[in-house]
Amino acid sequence: MTVLERLARLAVWTIGLAVCVYLMVPLFVTVAVSFSASPVFDLPPPSWSLRWYEALGSKRGFLPSLSLSVQIALISTGISLVLGTLTAIAVVKGRFPGRTAISTFVVSPLMMPGLVIGIALLQFLREIGYRDAYTGLILGHVIVTLPFIMRTVQASLSLFDFTLIDAARTLGLSYPKAVVKVLVPVLSPAYLSSGLFAFLASMDNYPISIFLTDARNKTLPIQVLEYLEVRPDPTIAAISSLLILLTIIVLVISDRLVGLRRMTDF
Amino acid sequence: MKTPGEQKDRTWILAAPGVGYLTVLYALPLGLLLLASFRLPEAFSISAYVDFFGDPFNWYIIWNTLRSALLTTAFCLLIGYPAAFALAWSKGWLQALFLVSLILPLSVGIVVKAFAWTIVLRSDGVLNQALMALGFTDEPVRLIFTETGLIFGAVNVFVPFMIMPVYSVIRLLDPRLAEAARTLGAGPLYVFWKIILPLTVPGIIAGIAFVFSLALAMYVIPTLLVGERFMTLSQQIARSYLYLRNETLGSTVAVVLLVFSLIVIVASQWLAGKVRANT
């Protein structure tokens, strides 16, 4: 190895590790603040306590918001899994014109301004006289979650040999049964990683939700920002730390099931 | 072009539910928003745009939006490109560390992340304490409520969207290519410039398009890290709808931002197609 190569490798490793630390900073801050006894976000905390975790249950609005966000994220991810798989099969297997256009179209909400999608959807729903905030949120969140599923499932399907389904049918399975028995197991890693990304994207969505919520249906990010603007205290850090813990559990399970490395087939 | 005996292709039916859904609840509403900004269908008027572009303040907002998005994208590329190589070269627990630090921060929402950065960046915050302890500065550097603070937070949130696409093309690189070039006497710079860089261009294009379009539209990060003093198109949209209740202004700004995003999508698709055609 020449000196130049050594230097380049050193630079790559240094930047890589620095990026890791940089990415983890907000998490460390959040967890540290959540165990702080001080209400004013002093870092490092003057002393430690569990008071913000104890406060979680008594703070009105947080648990309902968390539960609403989880429901919306689960339902919209579920709908997107179905719609995304069907569209991905059509795009990968079909031989009709415009397949690239369909794929670009379905993935495009990922790159579109969320606020604009939110306003457009709100005005459309108002125009047709639809007023239910809960289903409105689901309708909006399917738009955000679908691109994640579509991208990953399409990439995964492009490596799939569709003649396997014909083989299963020759062996006596009906078409739907053949799809379930052959295709779904092949797609499960893609489902796991894209489902996780879609779920987290929905949980975190602010720009679309802000236009679709009402007083009784506030998703977690909206509740949190409102709370931060009025009187911030580390209760938010406590609820976020619980979400970090939950994600760690999901990641450990995913690692056992399919391996972390496949999670990045993004 | 159907040849006799070939089955009629009916697979497009499978795409109908997904495409239909997005057409009705995404494309159609955006189209209606566009029409409304021209006051269609009752009349046709571009007065909202004349007013918008006639106001120098709005040019300042557009410039703010584009500049912060460009800076964010540039820094994401600068640190994300090497980081993608580190991720690709790493093995075992080191790779697990890289992957976890990419995925786990997604569990903390943008709102909380931006707020955590305000704690780090404020004048008595950890970063300033560290800078002063290390002797870089005698008095606190003003970071929060500045564009520097904004870029710091935005790059933090968006850099995974640069690393992932670049990493996915690095993984497909055949290491024998670089080896072969080295055996034939090419220097490391030449190998990088003529082999590795061109082969990773599709990932770079995807990453830039991703980060740039996300940074153009970011709303929560500037709201928390800079506030009202640094207006961007997204903040102006939210302000006109949620506080000013001025829907004409809101829909005009929304269409301007929409056009920027569409340009990014179309340009990146076109560039990606061009790169594919050349290789």
Cβ contact B11–A116 (<8 Å): no
Position A126 confidence tier, pLDDT thresholds 50, 70, 90: very high
A146, two tokens: 């679908």
Cβ contact A116–B258 (<8 Å): yes
**Cβ proximity of A120 and B36 under 8 Å:** no
**Cβ proximity of B235 and B220 under 8 Å:** no
Q: What's phi and psi for A92, nearest 5 deg?
A: -80, -40
Average pLDDT, chain B: 88
Mutate to test the interface with B, among A115, A241, A266 (most CBs of B within 10 A): A115
- Find the residue in B nearest to A255 (Cα): B96
Q: What's phi and psi for A265, nearest 5 deg?
A: -70, 75
Percent of chain A exceeding pLDDT 90 equals 44
Residues, chain A: 266
User: Which domain does A89 fall in, by range?
Assistant: 60-264
Residue type, A263: M
What ipTM does the predicted assembly reach?
Answer: 0.89
Cβ contact B104–A240 (<8 Å): no
Residue A223 lies in a domain: yes
Q: What is the pLDDT of residues A140-164, one digit of tens each?
A: 999 999 999 999 999 888 888 888 8
Q: What is the pLDDT of residues B19-34, one digit of tens each?
A: 999 999 999 999 999 9
Average pLDDT, chain A: 88
Which one has a higher pLDDT value, A52 or B219?
B219
Q: What is the distance between the terminal CA atoms of chain B, rounded to a whole angstrom?
A: 29
Position B186 confidence tier, pLDDT thresholds 50, 70, 90: confident
At B8 the pLDDT is: 66
Distance from CA of B13 to the nearest CA of A (A): 7
Q: Which of residues 229-258 of B touch A (CB under 8 A)?
A: 233-234, 237-238, 241-242, 250-251, 254, 257-258
Q: What is the pLDDT of residues B125-138, one digit of tens each?
A: 788 888 888 878 77
- Find the residue in B nearest to A34 (Cα): B116
At B4 the pLDDT is: 44
B97, two tokens: 């560390």
At B31 the pLDDT is: 93
Cβ contact A105–B99 (<8 Å): no
- What are the CB-based long-range contacts (under 8 Å, 24+) for A72-75? A72/A134, A72/A137, A72/A138, A72/A141, A72/A202, A72/A219, A73/A141, A73/A145, A73/A198, A73/A199, A73/A200, A73/A202, A73/A203, A74/A199, A75/A138
Position B143 confidence tier, pLDDT thresholds 50, 70, 90: confident
For position A235, which CATH number holds? Answer: 1.10.3720.10
> Can you say whether residue A99 is alpha, beta or left, with left for phi > 0 and alpha for psi between -120 and 50 degrees?
alpha
Cβ contact B108–A16 (<8 Å): no
Please tell me which of the candidates A23, A111, A246 has its beta carbon nearest to residue B209.
A111
List, as one string, the DSSP characters of A6-42.
HHHHHHHHHHHHHHHHHHHHHHHHHHHHHTBS-TT--
Choice among A6-20, A28-42, A194-208 with the minimum mean pLDDT: A28-42
Residue A206 lies in a domain: yes
Q: In this complex, is the C-beta atom of B168 within 8 Å of any C-beta atom belonging to chain A?
A: yes
**Cβ proximity of A88 and A157 under 8 Å:** yes
Residue A76 lies in a domain: yes
Residue A90 lies in a domain: yes
Cβ contact A112–B224 (<8 Å): no
For residues A93-112, average pLDDT: 91
Q: What is the pLDDT of residues B49-79, one digit of tens each?
A: 998 899 999 999 999 999 999 999 999 999 9
At B80 the pLDDT is: 96
Position B6 confidence tier, pLDDT thresholds 50, 70, 90: very low
pLDDT value at A189 more than 90:
no
Residue A14 lies in a domain: no
Distance from CA of B211 to the nearest CA of A (A): 9
Residues of A with CB below 8 A from B15's CB?
86-87, 90-91, 94, 102
Residue with tokens 């269409």: B255
Calpha distance B111→B163 (Å, rounded): 22
Residue A47 lies in a domain: no
At A265 the pLDDT is: 56
Helix-helix angle A3-34:A235-257, to 10 degrees: 130
- Find the residue in B nearest to A115 (Cα): B234
pLDDT value at B91 more than 90:
no
For residues A107-113, average pLDDT: 93
Calpha distance B11→A95 (Å, rounded): 8
Q: From B191, B168, B167, select the one nearest B179 (Cα to Cα).
A: B191
Residue with tokens 């076109």: B270
Residues, chain B: 279
Which range among A184-188, A219-223, B187-191 has the greatest average pLDDT?
A219-223
At B1 the pLDDT is: 45
Cβ contact A12–B159 (<8 Å): no
Residues of B with CB below 8 A from A138's CB?
none
The count of domains in chain A is 1
CA distances from A165 to A148, A177, A188, A195, B20 (A): 25, 10, 16, 24, 27
